[in-house]
Amino acid sequence: MAKSRPNTLSFATTLSLSRFPESASLTVFATALAEPETEDLKMFVNSRLPSGFATQTVTGIGRRKCAIACVVL
């Protein structure tokens, strides 16, 4: 039975002979949930929280909205 490697994030390092190393490039990938995945996520959250609390819209701004989201998650 072969061992599977855990999901890791690695960065390659290079040795530079110059006095000032080149700036590193950064690539960002973003993903968004497709409609069926969003519905599955809503159903999962609704099943975990009592009284349909998860279906309520979060009406807050700034710190209050963040605090509500942290409590829900």
Q: Mean pLDDT over residues 42-71, rounded?
A: 62
58 near 69, Cβ under 8 Å?
Answer: yes
Q: Which residue has the tokens 């000032």?
A: 20
pLDDT at 42 over 70: yes
The predicted model gives 43-67 an average pLDDT of 63
> What's this model's pTM, rounded to 2 decimal places?
0.24
Show me where the domains of the chain are located.
35-72
Indicate the average pLDDT of the chain: 61
Band of residue 60 on the pLDDT scale cut at 50, 70, 90: low
Cβ partners under 8 Å of residue 38, min gap 6: none
